[in-house]
Structure 1
Amino acid sequence: MNDNAKLKQQPGCHREIISLNQVCYAYESKPVLSNVNFTVRERDFVGLIGSNGAGKTTLLKMIVGLLRPQSGGISLFGTPASQFKDWNLIGYVPQRNHFNPLFPATVREVVQSGLYGRRKLFRRVTKEDVNRCEDALHTLRIQDLADKRIGALSGGQQQRVFLARALINNPKLLILDEPLSGIDIETQTNFFNLIRHMHQHHNITFLMVSHDMEMVRSYLGETPKEKSGKLNFYVRHSHDLEDCVETDLLHSLRKEG
């Protein structure tokens, strides 16, 4: 049974989506994360706040499999991260400044790549894939940029592309690393309305790094639920199901954008 089926069969269990157990990481013997413990449950919205150098991005990279803990353990959907295979359940928007502006891909190619799991990079593109990609381009209002190279876009345009890529596969967990950085105020507002709608009405869990304390407090509250080292975890639950009649996340973009 796959994870999607398990989630549907257990709507009220508030299962663990991410489990961090004594996670440690260091760069050249300089500790960045020391004994980090935290649990993200189904339909949580977690805001991760910390000073520069606190290890926020490093932690996200470990969660999405780009780095491995040097000690301690991470589990995803109840499976140790080292054994986790269902990466299609996770959408990830990295910091824009980690992106190579010379990467030779068009906007359409970048968005469409979000449909492919790590073991499906070379699978054949279906008509459904093409239609879903076009829908994502349209709803994020980047359809006129589809054939442009991603490196030729402005910062705000690039973030729209990365958001479309992360959402195109209807993830169960959306991980966002400073998603509002370099985006104009109108786009920030639309994006915030979008993720608030998805959190309240869809079976999706959020983990977001942000320096925008006003935004974090407006939705997640004034006080962090937990602290671990230099990291502060702000949490808002949405465990009472208020499911939207539409299960496709792109519907939310059309509605809120």
Structure 2
Amino acid sequence: MSGAASAIQAGCHQEIVKLDGVSFSYDSQSILQGVSFTIMERDFVGLIGSNGAGKTTLLRMIVGLARPQKGSVTLFGTPAGQFKDWNLIGYVPQRSHFNPLFPATVREVVLSGLYGRKKLFRRLSREDVERCEDALAALKIEDLGNKRIGALSGGQQQRVFLARALINNPKLLILDEPLTGIDIETQHNFFQMIQHMHQRHNITFLMVSHDMDMVRSYLGEEPKEKVGKLSFYVRHSHDLEDCRGTDLLHSLRKEG
């Protein structure tokens, strides 16, 4: 077990993400300038900002797809450049980045969440298949397993992408505009579901959203911090029950 994985199992209220003076520019245009912020275990953070504010760039740094030109990013107490435990981070991308003609079934998309940097070319085990079935059941999409992902509604697709992100039982879940492109009722149901996960389970959330009303309804009217064009809204872990080490998918499936 690596240092990051050991640290996160040691107890509650660990630092999950620490941004320290992060700056980034494309060509000569400054995108992020001196961003410092810390996300603690079981916090729910809403990241709000206009187009071009640097939200996507910041997410790319956290998931290891970009590095700051100044400052540092630390994940689970480990500098991002040395971080290896990517299974601790689940990521739900924007639906606009998904090709609806992609020839894969729901089950295949969810299983692809196991194809990490170390697992890409290995065969799936029985445990992997069981994890997939747990994920499908937990998100109430087991009846869609053999359907093509492109044939589903927007709300159904979001549940599939969430199941894919949860299959490794992550400790940090990043959602990039998860409410975009789905109807109001589906948005409400989806947001209620992730609120429930946050309140009942040991998981930390970072969600990018343009829906101010929905973010404020759960995270409060005022941001905890503003940095440039970015606003960080936070519901802290100390508002919740003590964290527990139970397996998220098994627990969600039992809850029905």
Whether TM exceeds 0.5 here: the answer is yes
Which 10-residue stretch deviates more, 103-112 or 70-79? 103-112
1:8 paired residue number: 9
The Cα of 1:51 is off from its aligned counterpart by 1.1
Q: Are residues 194 and 247 of structure 1, via their aligned partners in 2, closer, same or farther at CA, if it must alter by over 3 Å?
A: farther
Q: Are residues 22 and 245 of structure 1, via their aligned partners in 2, closer, same or farther at CA, if it must alter by over 3 Å?
A: closer
The answer to whether residue 239 in structure 2 is matched with residue 234 in structure 1 is no
2:137 paired residue number: 138
The answer to whether residue 194 in structure 2 is matched with residue 188 in structure 1 is no
Query: For residue 208 of structure 1, what is the amino acid of its counterpart?
Result: M
SS at match of 2:37: strand
Conserved 8 A contact 1:110-1:161: yes
After TM superposition, the structure 1 = structure 2 runs for residues 9-158 of structure 1, keeping only pairs within 5 Å, are: 9-11=10-12, 14-158=13-157
The Cα of 1:101 is off from its aligned counterpart by 3.2
- Structure 1's unaligned 5+ residue stretches are none
Q: Are residues 49 and 256 of structure 1, via their aligned partners in 2, closer, same or farther at CA, if it must alter by over 3 Å?
A: farther
Structure-2-length-normalised TM-score: 0.90
Cα distance per residue 1:60-103 (max 9 Å; x no partner)? 11110122222221110111111110000000011111223343
Q: Are residues 87 and 110 of structure 1, via their aligned partners in 2, closer, same or farther at CA, if it must alter by over 3 Å?
A: same
Aligned length: 255
SS at match of 1:174: strand
Cα distance per residue 1:135-164 (max 9 Å; x no partner)? 222332333432333334332222121111
Q: Are residues 185 and 251 of structure 1, via their aligned partners in 2, closer, same or farther at CA, if it must alter by over 3 Å?
A: farther
Output the aligned Cα RMSD.
2.2
Q: Are residues 140 and 187 of structure 1, via their aligned partners in 2, closer, same or farther at CA, if it must alter by over 3 Å?
A: farther
Matched residues in 1 for 2:100 and 2:33: separation? 33
The Cα of 1:247 is off from its aligned counterpart by 1.8
Cα distance per residue 1:109-159 (max 9 Å; x no partner)? 110121232111122211121122122223323334323333343322221
Structure-1-length-normalised TM-score: 0.89
The Cα of 1:9 is off from its aligned counterpart by 2.2
The Cα of 1:240 is off from its aligned counterpart by 6.0
Conserved 8 A contact 1:197-1:252: no
Matched residues in 2 for 1:253 and 1:185: separation? 24
Matched residues in 2 for 1:80 and 1:29: separation? 26
Q: Are residues 221 and 149 of structure 1, via their aligned partners in 2, closer, same or farther at CA, if it must alter by over 3 Å?
A: same
Matched residues in 2 for 1:188 and 1:225: separation? 24
Conserved 8 A contact 1:201-1:243: no
SS at match of 1:151: helix
Which 10-residue stretch deviates more, 247-256 or 187-196? 247-256
